[in-house]
Structure 1
Amino acid sequence: MVTIKDIAKRTNVSASTVSRVLNFDETLSASPETKQKIFDAAQEMNYRTVKSRRMQSRNQKSEPAKREALKLGMVLLQSKEEEASDPYWMSIREGIEKECALQGIHSLKLIRLQRMEKVREELSQLDGVLIVGRIDYSILQSLRECNRNIVLINQDSNNDEHDAVIFDYEKAASLAMDHLIEHGFKLIGYIGGTEKISIEEGPSLKKIYTPDARKSVYERKMKEHSLADPALLFIREFSIQAGYDLMKKAIDQGRLPQAFFIASDSMAIGALRALHEKGLHVPKDVAIVSFNDIEMAKFTSPPLSTVKIPTEEMGRLGVRIMIDRLNGRDMPIKIMVPTTLMIRESCGAKHGIVDS
């Protein structure tokens, strides 16, 4: 039987790190590349955790070897670098991996979308596919030709062809904007990013951009309250570095907003750093509400007020409804998870929560 030490030897990392990764220890700070190397080695060596062996024993009484034989794919629209810079996507991925382990599913193939021809070939060999992130409709239709058992996570299926696990982007973003407006802020800035998919087409790289609902809600809310000003919008890619650079730009332009809605916690962390370097205090000089509620959000200085998205549970739910589909359900279903405004110190309001 393959042991933790065998995997540690193959991957050249410590046995304790291997154990913590395979048991999904959320306090571990290993890189995504290290985690993936360990997961790949465990799968190649047919290693199973104690929990998955127990779950398999239970399942065999009613479904002999059925789930163990399933081959699922997890399609990530983000590059390795993008995933590493934004814990939001990693949390969804970990939810999928944890639920597969719990359900006794041992074949979960990680697929990145960048090389379409290879992706199409891989999808045709799988029982089902979980797609993480917002994907262009034409690309989705192309993937559907290879595998019709698709669950979308973090994107709605507008034509109701696919299962989907989503949250209401507009409602969630409205929680942030309404909170700032109701607390009397007039000069509200927006720091956000663009979501894009890079696809290889022959020798060239095609970039497909997806509109962001958070920016749309910000613009609509500002217009509704006669507060709109294009000079308060700061957009680049989603990353900590971009949040830092855009906040520096906002400071340097000489008309710093009283408050910011920042479209991701990662960007907000970068923005906090830029404000700190300039000697500006949050929330006394600038209030901030961000988005996602990653683990780090409660440990920043000051802790971030942010809209909580239950990302890990979205990943888990995706696996559950995929199993349900593979067990014979034909009708597509949609699960909408709730979002919550976590009020901490960065917005200047009292502690508490507001549910959507």
Structure 2
Amino acid sequence: MVTIKEIAAAVGVSSATVSRVLNYDPTLSISTSKRQAIIETAEALNYATPRNRGRAAAQGLGAGLKIALVHFLVPAQELADPYYVGVRLGIESRCQTLKSEIIKVFPTGNAPEAAMLEGASGVVAVGHYYGEALEWLRRHSRHLVFADYAPAGDADDSVLSDVALAMTRLLEAVHSMGYRRIGFIGWIDAFHEPENIHSERRCRTYIEWMTSAGLYDPDLCLVERMTPDSGYALTRAMLARPNPPEILITCNDNMALGAYRAIHELGLRIPEDVAVASFNDIPVAQFLGPPLSTVKIPAELIGETAVDLLLERLSGREVSKKVVLGTEMIWRESTPAAAEKRDPEKRLA
């Protein structure tokens, strides 16, 4: 596990500053560049420490290629979600290993210059694209790969993790621990099915699973259009209701950060009063108090694999390919078994 001290030493700041940045302390005065350096370093160290891929055989394969990285988030939005920082770092790392040139394109409100994409050997699109934006990418890309998203149909190369399956496994696990009042907070996927506020994959799976188990309570499923305060606002709203959840599942770790703040402000304890579990396993998850249980989605490997799919296309593969990477549940102190919550001495047994 990467430590705060290691991150601080790499960036050249104090451990306290790193801790406050990773915990999104709104009272901290720090430059955007320094904040970005801390978040990227935390993600990169977390990425590099456990693995050494040894892909020396691939050295030189992509030399001279020009790869366009088209991001669906503006830099400030990406900085607020370290998961997507991880996806980008995976793409950049793989391009660096292959000695490929990378062009980064962030949204500006207008479509990028078509010539920029058409002049690239291929395009890696990070995030979700629908409608005209999706068709525009298809029209102007020689070869196109989607990272962390798979458009409907089988026409495109894509790499992602199955968050619906991960949600099912998470629900099965917490149910087996003894939890029954299981809450969920998430966001509205306004572009996919705008008429259905519950269309996001984790939310849809939650409702289907809880309904099948005879446990679904609409009061325990709250969603809204994503804002930086969504996790905080939705958690306060849910915990103000007459029968609050025993455990709260958040759509991602950023929402969990807001949930932690709301729970603490209400004078409640994690996990004694309400347990918490989430998705992504961003670096800060291990440093929260208590450390956060979360589904680890391999963000950097998603980025790496997207580049590899692009190289396969450039090497002559004609059939589209969809790669689904596995996830791993990382259990930490925010989610004990329900019996342990009722009888803390069982934790010592």
Query: TM-score band (shorter)?
Result: 0.7 to 0.9
Distance 1:243 1:166, change over 3 A: same
Contact 2:198 2:223 in 1 (8 A): no
Q: CA 1:137 to 1:172, structure 2 compared with 1: closer, same or farther past 3 Å?
A: farther
Select 1:187's aligned residue among 165, 173, 181: 181
Q: For the residues of structure 1 that align with 2:89 and 2:32, how far apart are their CA atoms?
A: 10
Identity %: 31
Contact between 2:157 and 2:320, CA under 8 Å: does it hold in 1? yes
Matches of 1:266 and 1:323 in 2, distance apart? 33
Judge which range, 245-254 or 211-220, deviates more: 245-254
**Distance in 2 (alpha carbons) for counterparts of 1:170 and 1:59:** 35
1:259–1:286 Cα contact (<8 Å) kept:
yes
The aligned residue for residue 86 of structure 2 is 91
Deviations 1:181-200 (A, max 9, x none): 22222222111123467xxx
2:224 to 233, 236, 239: 236
Distance across 2 between alignment mates of 1:161 and 1:183? 41
CA distance in structure 1 between the partners assigned to 2:102 and 2:231 by the alignment: 34
Instruction: Report whether the alignment pairs 1:331 with 2:319.
Output: yes
Deviation at 1:119, TM superposition (A): 4.4
Q: Quick check: which one's strand share is greater?
A: 1
Find out whether 1:74 has 2:69 as its counterpart. Answer: yes
Aligned-partner SS, 2:123: strand
The 1:131/1:142 distance shift into structure 2, 3 A limit, reads: same
Give the structure 1 partner of residue 257 of structure 2. Answer: 269
Number of residue equivalences: 292
Residue 311 (structure 1) aligned with residue 299 (structure 2): yes
| CA distance in structure 2 between the partners assigned to 1:263 and 1:155 by the alignment | 16
Deviation string, structure 1 residues 180-227 (Cα, Å, up to 9, x no partner): 222222222111123467xxxxxxxxxxx9941000011111111122
Name the CA distance, whole Å, in 1 between partners of 2:104 and 2:264: 39
TM-score normalized by structure 2? 0.75
Indicate whether 1:164 and 2:158 are aligned: yes
| 2:126 corresponds to 1:132 | yes
Distance 1:229 1:335 in 2: 35
Equivalent-residue separation in structure 1 for 2:203 and 2:125 (angstroms)? 23
- Report the 3-state secondary structure (helix = DSSP H, G, I; strand = E; otherwise coil) of the residue aligned with 1:145: helix
Cα deviation, residue 99, structure 1: 0.8
The one-letter code sitting in structure 2 at the alignment partner of 1:109 is I
- How far did residue 265 of structure 1 move? 0.7
Q: Does 1:289 align with 2:277?
A: yes
CA contact (8 A) 1:258 1:285 kept: yes
Which amino acid counterpart does residue 94 of structure 1 have in structure 2?
L
CA distance in structure 2 between the partners assigned to 1:337 and 1:176 by the alignment: 17
2:145 counterpart SS class: strand
User: Which letter maps to 1:183?
Assistant: M
- Give how far 1:157 is off: 4.1
Residue deviations 1:26-57 (CA, integer Å, cap 9, x gap): xx9898757999xxxxxxxxxxxxxxxxx99x
DSSP-derived class of the 2:229 partner: helix
Please report the RMSD computed on the Cα atoms of aligned residues, expressed in angstroms.
3.0
Q: Give the 3 Å change call, closer, same or farther, for CA 34–127 of structure 1 in structure 2.
A: farther
